[in-house]
Amino acid sequence: MIRITALGKRYGELKAVDNLDLTIDKGEVFGLLGPNGAGKSTTILMLLGLTEPSQGAVRVCGFDPTRQPLEVKKRVGYLPDDVGFYDDRSGLENLLFTAQLNRIPKAEALRRAGLLLDQVGLTADAQKRAGAYSRGMRQRLGLADVLIKNPPIIILDEPTLGIDPQGVREFLDLIVRLSKEQGITVLLSSHHLHQVQQVCDRVGLFVGGRLIADGNIDALSTKLFALEPFMVEAGVSTLDQNDIDSLTELFRQIPEVRSVSHTGEIFRIACTRDQTSAVARTVITHGYSLNLLQKKRYGLDEIYHRYFENGGTYGKTA
Amino acid sequence: MAKLPDDARVSSIRAIRTSAAREIRITARELRTTAARVIRLLPRTAHGPLETQAKHPFWVIVNKEMADHIRSWRFIILLALIALTCFGSLYTALNSIGTPKAVGTRGNASFFFLQLFTATDGTLPSFTVFLNFLGPLLGIAMGFDAVNSELNRGTLSRLLSQPIHRDYLLNAKCIASLLVIAGLFLALTLVTTGLGLLVIGIPPTPAGFLRLLAFTLLTVIYVGFWLNIAILFSVRFRQPATSALTAIAVWLFLTVFYPILIRLVAKAFAPDTASMAMFGPSISGSERTVLDLLRFAPGQLYSDATTTLLMPVVRSLGPLSMDQVAGAIPNPLPVGESIIIVWPQLTGLIAAATACFALSYRSFMRKEIRPR
């Protein structure tokens, strides 16, 4: 449904998106995961033809968004992260306006709007001014607004930003249900790992304008951590710099250890085999006091953190 | 028909009638098909037999914009302001033309009615002067947040992700505002005409009425120019306050400071009285230059044009030398001639408005639309 090849976008010197290749199939829920400023929104704007790519090509349902924006916009529903409505109109009026822009006849628009408002749970508030809506309600109205044109693809840019946890869960459930029921392709961008983990079939990890990896969560973790599948966290109390250096050196000497890093008193030891007990032994036999020890399984969190650290926009802080 | 017709006449009349009826039927059918063809060619504007089909998105936006304008407090306040001043100036005009002296001096009785719009007894400026002053405010008020408020509310990216061309938005906003302005001024002129008619009891001549309509069109174009300036700033500046202030600054400069500036400079360069006596013709030349410079301000163009349109005795907008006036009969000009005199002013205003629109169009089309 969406095919991106060698896509790039520069703002002066800054490469917002750098040589991106991505294919999203029909009916998939794809999560675009990355920190703020990673180029997610820029990519989405290029998908919609709201920004011109500097290089590369985009095909949405076989159309080029820059050349045939209307064909693309007919088929793609887009929900920006902070969707705006005409505050002095009611939610229903806002929906009907969108429907009219899509040339849906009035009667049909009314019917569909009623149905969608019911689905997103806003029937009771349909006549209220959109300005009086809460953040969560606005976002749900936004979803109805996106769906009123019956698009085969919907693109959601940070859709859960600023909604309370309960609202987030309901919202995501709604998206997944709609996707499964109606076979809608969903592209969801977020920096909330857990939400992405919860709903997406496939995830693309986006850092510094590059897609570092994509696949489902399992594939992603095996791919990214083929060499370092285990991570041990050890907390050692009251240390000065010398201790830290010597401990780092000691951990390095444990067989199968690939890398050692630390934040404050917490060491992170990545290794190819489970070396938890070896780490504990090292700390204790050298007379330090161990106050935390845990073995980590790689979830999205770790995947994400790793890539934040290794070349993320915030630099190498760890 | 009064005579009793004989058989032959009856039958011939019948024949004529039936053939006439057939003619009418055919013509009606032709008219219908032509009308249908024309309607099919028109952009789908929603009315009549096309109601079953959905409206063209362009007109959807125009509708919405017009509704927004008419509902907005800003518009209602300005409307009240303009209506008030109009009635105020109407009152002073009536006061002044109530005196027989005024009728005598202003001469031509056939255009007596037009004085309603230009005359004043000195307490308040006349209708046209008021519009010259308040029209820009109306235009600015309707346009200064056209694009940036949509951007700030986050509705722009939602709107532009719908299957519409990007320029629809800008065009629709411009058209909607112009339609509202046109409706407003037409209504205002007609109401003023009606009230004046009630009070003075002399109807305007057809030519006078034509002049009124031309005057309304001119006002719409003049306000349209300011509207387009405001829209340009609304595309350029992200904050509505900035764009409003900039537009008002431009307005103040052009209406207040620019003429002062020109006159100052002109005074510095003007020949003194002694040489004035010696080189008569060159003075009219320097006068003309000053006037031409003043005409860079749209307010000057507007006041030139309204004067000519509403005072048919005005026959030139520049200084006239004695030999040009010699032999002229102080008669009013026909409408066509007056319009020819203001033609440069009219085209100037239209060109300025179009240039502003083109600039805003250009920068809007190339703008990157980010959600807020």
**Mind giving me the DSSP string for B174-206?**
HHHHHHHHHHHHHHHHHHHHHHHHHHH--PPPH
The Cα–Cα gap between B290 and B271 comes to: 13
A61 in the same domain as A120: yes
Is residue B198 one of the residues assigned to a domain?
Answer: yes
Is residue A199 one of the residues assigned to a domain?
Answer: yes
Would the CB atoms of B158 and A76 count as touching at under 8 Å?
A: no
Pairing mode, strands A185-190 and A29-33: parallel
What SS3 state is found at A17? Answer: strand
Q: Nearest CB to B160: which of A50, A88, A105? A: A50
CA geometry: angle at A50 spanning A181 and A79, to 5°? 35
Alpha-helical segments (H) within B99-147: 100-106, 115-118, 127-143
CA nearest to B53 within chain A: A105
Is residue B370 one of the residues assigned to a domain?
Answer: no
Is residue A130 one of the residues assigned to a domain?
Answer: yes
Q: Does A157 touch chain B (CB under 8 A)?
A: yes
Contact B302, B222 (CB under 8 A): yes
CATH number of the domain encompassing residue A149: 3.40.50.300
Quick count: other Cβ atoms within 10 Å of Cβ A260? 20
Chain B nearest C-alpha distance from A97 (Å):
8
pLDDT band at B49 (very low <50, low <70, confident <90, very high): very low
User: Which of A222, A255, A287 represents a domain boundary (last residue)?
Assistant: A222
Chain A nearest C-alpha distance from B49 (Å):
14
User: Which of A222, A243, A262 represents a domain boundary (last residue)?
Assistant: A222
The Cα–Cα gap between B42 and A272 comes to: 73
> Which tokens go with A126?
């349909």
Contact A206, A40 (CB under 8 A): yes
Q: Does B46 touch chain A (CB under 8 A)?
A: no
Could you read off the pLDDT of B145-171 as tens digits, one per residue?
999 999 888 898 888 889 988 889 999
- Interface-testing mutation among A93, A102, A103, A139, with chain B (most B C-beta atoms within 10 A): A103
N- to C-terminal Cα distance for chain A? 39
Tell me the count of A-B CB pairs closer than 8 A. 89
Give chain A positions within 8 Å (CB) of B158: 78, 80, 83-85, 98, 142, 145
Question: So what's the pLDDT on residue B288?
Answer: 74
**Which range (A212-221, B195-204, B305-314) has the least confidence?**
A212-221
Would the CB atoms of A98 and B61 count as touching at under 8 Å?
A: no
Q: Does B276 score more than 60 pLDDT?
A: no
- Which residues 252-271 in chain A show a CB within 8 A of chain B? none
pTM recorded for the entire structure: 0.77
Q: Does B71 touch chain A (CB under 8 A)?
A: yes
pLDDT band at B327 (very low <50, low <70, confident <90, very high): low
Spatial neighbors of A254 by CB under 8 A, at least 6 apart, are A269, A271, A275, A278, A279, A282
Q: Which residues of B69-97 are buried (b: 16+ CB within 10 A; e: fewer)?
A: beeeeebeebbeebeebbeebbebbbbbb
N- to C-terminal Cα distance for chain B? 80
A263 in the same domain as A194: no
Q: Does B47 touch chain A (CB under 8 A)?
A: no
Is residue B136 one of the residues assigned to a domain?
Answer: yes
Is residue B79 one of the residues assigned to a domain?
Answer: yes
Q: Does B371 touch chain A (CB under 8 A)?
A: yes
Is residue A315 one of the residues assigned to a domain?
Answer: no
The fraction of chain B above a pLDDT of 90, given in percent, is 28
Amino acid at the residue B256: V
A217 in the same domain as A244: no
Amino acid at the residue B17: R
Is residue B34 one of the residues assigned to a domain?
Answer: no
Q: Which domain holds residue A6?
A: 2-222
> Which tokens go with A237?
């109390």
- In total, how many domains does chain A have? 2
Would the CB atoms of A45 and B55 count as touching at under 8 Å?
A: no
A127 in the same domain as A254: no
Is residue B160 one of the residues assigned to a domain?
Answer: yes
A99 in the same domain as A12: yes
The Cα–Cα gap between A123 and A106 comes to: 18
A118 in the same domain as A42: yes
Give chain A positions within 8 Å (CB) of B68: 86, 88
Could you read off the pLDDT of A69-107 as tens digits, one per residue?
889 999 999 998 888 899 989 999 999 999 999 999 989
CA geometry: angle at B284 spanning B279 and B285, to 5°? 90
CA nearest to A103 within chain B: B54
Give chain A positions within 8 Å (CB) of B160: 50
Is residue A18 one of the residues assigned to a domain?
Answer: yes
Question: So what's the pLDDT on residue B23?
Answer: 75
Percentages helix, strand, coil for chain A (3-state, rounded to 5) are 40, 30, 30
Contact B180, A85 (CB under 8 A): no
Is residue B302 one of the residues assigned to a domain?
Answer: yes
Q: Does A111 score more than 90 pLDDT?
A: yes
Q: Nearest CB to A100: which of B54, B156, B166? A: B54
Q: How far is CA B39 from CA A218, A265, B31, B47, in A?
A: 61, 79, 12, 10
A232 in the same domain as A150: no
A246 in the same domain as A211: no
Would the CB atoms of A103 and B55 count as touching at under 8 Å?
A: yes
A110 in the same domain as A41: yes
Q: Does B223 score more than 90 pLDDT?
A: yes
Would the CB atoms of A101 and B60 count as touching at under 8 Å?
A: yes
Q: Does A51 touch chain B (CB under 8 A)?
A: yes
**Mean pLDDT on A218-231:** 67
Would the CB atoms of B157 and A78 count as touching at under 8 Å?
A: yes
**Mean pLDDT on A267-295:** 83
A113 in the same domain as A37: yes
| Unique residue bearing structure tokens 């693109």 | A155
Evaluate whether ipTM surpasses 0.85. Answer: no
Name the residue with higher pLDDT: B237 or A14.
Answer: B237
> Which tokens go with B127?
């209708």
Is residue A147 one of the residues assigned to a domain?
Answer: yes
Would the CB atoms of B163 and A105 count as touching at under 8 Å?
A: no
Q: How far is CA A202 from CA A23, A150, A185, in A?
A: 11, 23, 12
Could you read off the pLDDT of A161-217 as tens digits, one per residue?
878 888 888 888 888 888 888 889 999 988 877 778 778 888 888 877 888 777 877
A235 in the same domain as A213: no
pLDDT band at B83 (very low <50, low <70, confident <90, very high): confident
Q: Dmax of chain A from CA atoms?
A: 79
The Cα–Cα gap between B60 and B45 comes to: 9
Ramachandran angles phi, psi of A11, nearest 5°: -115, 100
Contact A102, A141 (CB under 8 A): no
The Cα–Cα gap between A232 and A295 comes to: 5
Question: So what's the pLDDT on residue A316?
Answer: 33
Give chain A positions within 8 Å (CB) of B64: 97
| Unique residue bearing structure tokens 């009891």 | B201
A288 in the same domain as A156: no
| Unique residue bearing structure tokens 């991505």 | A22
Contact A220, A214 (CB under 8 A): yes
Alpha-helical segments (H) within A232-312: 241-253, 276-285, 300-309
- Interface-testing mutation among A101, A135, A147, A150, with chain B (most B C-beta atoms within 10 A): A101
B247, B71, B60: which is closest to B143 by C-alpha?
Answer: B247
Q: Which domain holds residue B266?
A: 57-244+251-365
- In total, how many domains does chain B have? 1
Cα A75 to its chain centre, rounded Å, is 22
Q: Dmax of chain B from CA atoms?
A: 95
